[in-house]
């Protein structure tokens, strides 16, 4: 938000119109309603087109300690020669929580500053959580990190998104060794590959498991249970009394 | 004894039949498999009584010294997080209560706080519901710590500690049974409040418990605090200092045994913890004995909090004595009622929806089968469970079911610190180290 409006330019277009244009350019999330596609629908909702809401980005001020925190992170990153706007795509302050959407190539640099700068002092990382958004084309897989600063009693969330076709995120283990098992879990469940992790192997599922069960394209159940040569069919294929 | 060379194995495989160790050693010497060192790799678990469930430890031993320890988990993975994506937000409680089965009420609270933050109703939770949540969590903290100390005793070979601990834990479970109807897997705390108010006579029972418990805990302290055998097995054992805890993300009693009074109930209060008087016990020994003392002291503090909760619940009722949020779009309408045939649906509510109001019936049907919609977004709620920071990261896409729920279970993270505590120590101390971190595999594997 540092670009200044040059004087003498035309008035910027109406905010509502801009927001509308932004919304129309988003992908279609669903069409119609009530599941009817033929003429049976007399409600008029059959032609409905619902678009995905555009990604949120909170305007300043964020409120609470969030502005201090964002300023401190910005100046800390500037000192290390990495502009804030380049490392952090957008900042969302929502429901009393601050989220920084970080570009993956700068994740470890940002985390390093967050840990080492006394003004930030996020000593503790409470792990990684994966989220799979198949509809969010080009940003399907998200890795979400929650950080705690015991010194300042603050919390911060970092979020990184990567496409399904290139699910690589640099590892955080060098900055926060506690991420070791958490990253293994996220790899196991979502298939996000954490580059540079010391031993990225499955942790919850068996070593020879196919697929990543927490992804949205992975069904609940429907997997035959193997047990020492015998196979128990999935629940929907088991014998039924008719 | 037989030996053979397998293509897939790392080297020659020796089948040990018992009482033939000398033969194995001789055969290994002959084959040149023993270049001077006495390394022995032992699988401890996953079925081992002292590993707190199905935890497997791969130990590399040099005589009795542990040179390398690798914890292996995943034997109790049940896909709770995945299952929750296919149930409504209210039904989610039924699943997450089964994760860490020794502290079910904490799992429920973490999930409900995250859901309520997503809904934006954190400030509208009735006061009485919050007090009930705190009451139940503190009772649960006592039962969980008692189990930790009791099994610790058993694992060190002292059955008296186990029997005493379980006997006293039973008193907490009796209270749970009275209040929630169940001894574990309660699904008592729901998004918006709790499922029901205290039954008649509960206050008296809790006061009786409060009168009894200090003496029982005192007996336990008399048995353990200065017991030479216990001290020899716990003092200076499983050392992990503050830097180690921070690096490995360890929280809870293990962190507080390093002298840092970090307790989310004090530092980032939830459920109104800022209105209760209690202390955060710390020790500075960084060892298994310090963790034991922290747990004992925390039980005393929990009793203090339970006393304050009981006074508030027994005091003159306010105008609003609801235990579920007043918003009819979120709070389930039916309160269970005690009939001649046991606890069941409220006859008044059934009369209302079946006989008087069509709209109420539709509303009830929609709320119970479809559930309520939660605005899109994400929230992270963290609470201080008996084992450390229990976090719930909940993501909603605006629907009636969670889009993704992830639990940051403290046992999962604390287990990572096991190699740091055990390597270089004796194999017997591995048992003490595992017990002092108090992992619950249901929570680790989820």
**Taking Cα atoms as reference points, which of A137, A181, A175 lies closest to residue A158?**
A175
> Is the CB of A124 less than 8 angstroms away from the CB of B246?
yes
**What is the DSSP-derived secondary structure letter of residue A136?**
S
pLDDT at B406: 94
B234's CB contacts (< 8 A; 6+ apart) are B156, B287, B288, B289, B292, B432, B436
pLDDT of residue A12 exceeding 90, the answer is: no
Cβ-in-10-Å burial (0-12, 13-18, 19+) of B124 comes to middle
CA atoms of B347 and B334, how far apart (whole Å):
9
Which one of B73, B413, B416, B443 would you mutate to disrupt binding with A, by most A Cβ within 10 Å of its Cβ? B413
pLDDT at B405: 94
Higher local confidence (pLDDT), A32 or B141: B141
**What does the DSSP assignment read for A152-173?**
TTEEEEEEEEE-TTS-EEE--T
Higher local confidence (pLDDT), B409 or A239: B409
CA atoms of A95 and A84, how far apart (whole Å):
23
* B159-182: b (≥16 Cβ within 10 Å) or e: eebbebbeebbebbeebbeebbbe
Higher local confidence (pLDDT), A1 or A45: A45
Mean local confidence (pLDDT), A35-55: 68
Locate the chain A residue with the closest alpha carbon to B402. Answer: A131
pLDDT (tens digit per residue) in B138-191 = 999 999 999 999 988 888 888 888 899 999 999 999 999 988 888 888 889 999
**Is B393 within 8 Å of B114 (Cβ atoms)?**
yes
CA atoms of B77 and B442, how far apart (whole Å):
8
In what side-by-side order are the strands of the sheet with B377-385?
B377-385, B388-396, B404-408
Residues 105-164 of A with CB under 8 A from B: 123-127, 129-132, 144, 146, 148, 150, 153, 155, 157
pLDDT of residue A193 exceeding 60, the answer is: yes
B366's CB contacts (< 8 A; 6+ apart) are none
pLDDT (tens digit per residue) in A207-216 = 888 889 899 8
Which one of A123, A148, A176, A215 would you mutate to disrupt binding with B, by most B Cβ within 10 Å of its Cβ? A148
**Taking Cα atoms as reference points, which of B434, B381, B437, B412 lies closest to residue B255?**
B437
Per-residue pLDDT of chain B (446 residues; tens, 9 = 90+): 666 666 555 667 777 777 777 887 788 777 776 656 667 888 887 877 676 778 889 988 887 888 899 999 988 898 899 889 888 899 899 999 999 899 999 999 999 999 999 999 988 888 889 999 999 999 999 999 999 999 888 888 888 888 999 999 999 999 999 888 888 888 899 998 888 888 888 899 999 999 999 999 999 999 888 888 888 888 888 899 999 999 999 999 999 999 999 999 999 999 999 999 999 999 999 999 999 999 999 999 999 999 999 988 887 766 567 888 888 888 876 566 766 766 677 788 888 888 898 988 888 888 888 888 888 889 999 999 999 999 999 999 888 889 999 999 999 999 999 999 999 888 888 988 998 998 999 889 88
- Residue of A146, A153, A214 with shortest CB distance to B82: A214
Three-point CA angle B246, B267, B439, nearest 5°: 50
pLDDT at B338: 67
Higher local confidence (pLDDT), B5 or A3: B5
pLDDT of residue A4 exceeding 70, the answer is: no
> Is the CB of A180 less than 8 angstroms away from the CB of B406?
no
pLDDT at B5: 63
pLDDT at A1: 41
pLDDT at A5: 47
Which one of B46, B404, B408, B445 would you mutate to disrupt binding with A, by most A Cβ within 10 Å of its Cβ? B404
pLDDT at B13: 75
Strands B39-44 and B12-15: unpaired
- Residue of A95, A204, A213 with shortest CB distance to B377: A95
pLDDT (tens digit per residue) in A83-110 = 888 888 889 888 889 999 999 999 999 9
Mean local confidence (pLDDT), A185-197: 92
- Range with the lowest mean pLDDT among A159-168, A191-200, B15-24? B15-24
Mean local confidence (pLDDT), A162-183: 92
Tokens encoding B331: 């709070």
Cβ-in-10-Å burial (0-12, 13-18, 19+) of B29 comes to exposed
> Is the CB of A204 less than 8 angstroms away from the CB of B413?
no
Higher local confidence (pLDDT), B26 or A55: B26
**C-alpha dihedral (B51, B57, B61, B67), degrees to nearest 10:** -110
CA atoms of A234 and B62, how far apart (whole Å):
46
CA atoms of A36 and B192, how far apart (whole Å):
35
Q: What confidence tier does A3 reach under pLDDT thresholds 50, 70, 90?
A: very low
For residue B42, the cross-strand partners are: B59
């Amino acid at each position: 938000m540092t670009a200044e409006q040059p004087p003498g330019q035309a008035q910027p277009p109406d905010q509502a119109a801009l927001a509308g244009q932004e919304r129309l350019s988003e992908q279609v999330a669903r069409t119609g309603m009530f599941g009817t596609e033929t003429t049976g629908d007399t409600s008029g909702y059959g032609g409905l087109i619902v678009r995905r809401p555009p990604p949120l980005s909170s305007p300043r001020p964020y409120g609470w300690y969030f502005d201090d925190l964002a300023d401190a992170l910005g100046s800390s990153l500037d000192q290390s020669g990495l502009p804030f706007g380049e490392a952090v795509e957008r900042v969302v302050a929502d429901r009393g929580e601050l989220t920084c959407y970080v570009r993956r190539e700068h994740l470890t640099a940002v985390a390093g500053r967050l840990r080492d700068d006394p003004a930030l002092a996020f000593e503790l990382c409470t792990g990684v959580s994966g989220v799979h958004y198949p509809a969010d084309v080009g940003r399907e897989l998200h890795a979400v990190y929650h950080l705690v600063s015991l010194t300042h009693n603050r919390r911060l969330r970092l979020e990184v998104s990567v496409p399904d076709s290139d699910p690589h995120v640099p590892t955080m283990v060098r900055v926060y060794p506690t991420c070791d098992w958490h990253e293994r879990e996220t790899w196991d469940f979502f298939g996000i590959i954490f580059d540079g992790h010391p031993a990225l192997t499955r942790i919850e599922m068996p070593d020879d498991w196919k697929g990543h069960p927490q992804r949205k394209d992975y069904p609940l159940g429907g997997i035959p249970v193997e047990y020492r040569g015998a196979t128990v069919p999935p629940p929907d294929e088991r014998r039924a009394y008719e | 004894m037989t030996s053979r060379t397998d293509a897939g194995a790392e080297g020659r495989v020796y089948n040990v039949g018992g009482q033939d160790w000398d033969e194995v050693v001789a055969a290994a010497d002959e084959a040149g498999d023993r270049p001077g060192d006495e390394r022995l790799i032992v699988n401890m678990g996953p079925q081992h009584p002292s590993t707190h469930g199905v935890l497997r430890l791969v130990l590399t031993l040099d005589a009795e010294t542990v040179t390398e320890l690798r914890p292996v988990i995943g034997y109790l993975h049940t896909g709770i997080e995945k299952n929750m994506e296919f149930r409504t937000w209210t039904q989610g409680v039924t699943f997450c209560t089964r994760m860490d089965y020794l502290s079910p009420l904490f799992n429920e609270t973490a999930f409900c706080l995250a859901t309520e933050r997503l809904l934006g109703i954190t400030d509208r939770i009735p006061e009485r519901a919050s007090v009930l949540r705190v009451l139940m969590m503190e009772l649960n903290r006592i039962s969980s710590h008692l189990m930790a100390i009791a099994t610790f005793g058993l694992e060190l070979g002292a059955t008296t500690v186990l029997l005493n601990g379980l006997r006293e834990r039973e008193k907490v479970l009796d209270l749970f049974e009275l209040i929630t109807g169940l001894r574990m897997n309660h699904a008592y705390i729901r998004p918006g409040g709790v499922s029901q108010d205290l039954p008649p006579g509960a206050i008296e029972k809790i006061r009786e418990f409060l009168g009894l418990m200090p003496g029982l805990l005192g007996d336990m302290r008399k048995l353990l605090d200065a017991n030479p055998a216990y001290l020899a097995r716990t003092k200076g054992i499983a050392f992990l200092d503050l830097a180690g805890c921070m690096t490995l993300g360890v929280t809870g009693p293990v962190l507080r045994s390093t002298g840092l009074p970090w307790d989310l109930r004090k530092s980032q209060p939830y459920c109104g913890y800022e209105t209760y008087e209690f202390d955060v016990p710390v020790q500075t020994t960084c060892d298994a004995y310090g963790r034991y003392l922290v747990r004992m002291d925390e039980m005393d503090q929990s009793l203090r909090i339970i006393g304050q909760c009981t006074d508030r619940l027994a005091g003159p009722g306010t105008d609003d004595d609801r235990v579920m949020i007043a918003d009819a779009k979120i709070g389930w309408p039916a309160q269970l009622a005690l009939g001649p045939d046991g606890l069941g649906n409220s006859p008044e509510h059934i009369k209302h929806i079946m006989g008087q109001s069509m709209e109420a019936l539709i509303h009830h049907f929609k709320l119970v089968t479809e559930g309520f919609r939660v605005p899109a977004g994400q929230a992270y709620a963290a609470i201080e469970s008996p084992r450390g920071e229990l976090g719930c990261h909940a993501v909603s896409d605006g629907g009636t079911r969670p889009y993704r729920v992830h639990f940051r279970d403290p046992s999962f993270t604390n287990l990572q610190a096991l190699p740091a505590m055990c390597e270089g120590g004796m194999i017997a101390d591995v048992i003490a180290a595992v017990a002092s971190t108090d992992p619950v595999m249901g929570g680790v594997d989820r």
